[in-house]
Chain A
Amino acid sequence: GAVVSQHPSWVICKSGTSVKIECRSLDFQATTMFWYRQFPKQSLMLMATSNEGSKATYEQGVEKDKFLINHASLTLSTLTVTSAHPEDSSFYICSAPQLQGFNTEAFFGQGTRLTVV
């Protein structure tokens, strides 16, 4: 299947700093990418839809000023957690869909574990 690469795999940052996470589709173009958040032992919650060349669409309850998303090219989306706080510590996962006929299969990055201290 298609490959989605996420970087970094883990990051520790100080409270109040910003962290950027990159998501790349390596062997296909993705006009849309998705960002999820997963708390320990919980499911993946969709945070936002990243759209190449336009503004991201955020799910209800997700602060767009805190979680900045940029989708500058067809293979790269970035999520920046601004002014991070300990409650932002979580596992962040990106996904890029690949259209297969009329159907879409999602390919996932390996995730980024963010720890804010």
Chain B
Amino acid sequence: AQSVSQHNHHVILSEAASLELGCNYSYGGTVNLFWYVQYPGQHLQLLLKYFSGDPLVKGIKGFEAEFIKSKFSFNLRKPSVQWSDTAEYFCAVNARNQAGTALIFGKGTTLSVSS
């Protein structure tokens, strides 16, 4: 069965600090990988996704993630966070080449950015 582990439960940063949120997954086959953000009181928004190709993926709002297959990891990064990045971040995975499979989510990481 697939599972997703996010190691950081709550991250507190000052504006302009760099961010890295860890995500590891467990699955026997090839996967698609996603990062979603949920701002307070809002619904999920896709930050970025990895299907195949270049393992360094760039998303919206200056976020990027790197897929390291050997480590089963897909860590999210941003060089300089802003106060508006305060939100909940979810890593998710589904099985590649299987149409209609559900996303399995990690427990989420709360990011608090102080100005």
Chain A contacts to B: CB under 8 angstroms = 1, 31-32, 34, 36, 41-46, 49, 93, 95, 97, 99-106, 108-111
Given the known A-B contacts A43-B106, A44-B105, A103-B32, are A93 and B43 also in contact in the complex, defined by CB atoms under 8 Å?
A: yes
Which chain A residues border B99 with CB–CB below 8 Å? 97, 99, 104
Give the CA-CA distance A102 to B97 in the complex, in Å: 5
Task: Report the minimum CB–CB distance from B35 to chain A (whole Å).
Answer: 13
Give the CA-CA distance A1 to B49 in the complex, in Å: 13
Which chain B residues border A106 with CB–CB below 8 Å? 34, 94, 102-103
The B40-96 residues at the A interface (CB cut-off 8 A) are: 43-44, 46, 49, 51-52, 88, 90, 94, 96
Give the CA-CA distance A18 to B110 in the complex, in Å: 33
Given the known A-B contacts A44-B105, A46-B104, are A103 and B97 also in contact in the complex, defined by CB atoms under 8 Å?
A: yes
Question: Could you pull out 9 A-B pairs where Cβ atoms are within 8 angstroms?
Answer: A44-B105, A45-B105, A46-B102, A46-B103, A49-B102, A104-B32, A105-B34, A105-B49, A106-B102
Q: A34 near B102 (CB under 8 angstroms)?
A: yes
From B98, B106, B110, contact of A104 by CB (8 A):
B98
- Interface size on B (CB < 8 Å)? 25
Which chain B residues border A43 with CB–CB below 8 Å? 90, 105-108
Which chain B residues border A97 with CB–CB below 8 Å? 99-102
Task: Report the minimum CB–CB distance from A102 to chain B (whole Å).
Answer: 5
Which chain B residues border A105 with CB–CB below 8 Å? 32, 34, 46, 49
Majority secondary structure, A binding face: strand
Give the CA-CA distance A99 to B103 in the complex, in Å: 13
Give the CA-CA distance A90 to B49 in the complex, in Å: 27
Give the CA-CA distance A93 to B90 in the complex, in Å: 14
Give the CA-CA distance A45 to B3 in the complex, in Å: 12
Give the CA-CA distance A1 to B110 in the complex, in Å: 26
Q: B103 near A95 (CB under 8 angstroms)?
A: yes
Return the chain B residue nearest A110 by Cβ: B43
Task: Report the minimum CB–CB distance from B114 to chain A (whole Å).
Answer: 19
Task: Report the minimum CB–CB distance from A61 to chain B (whole Å).
Answer: 14
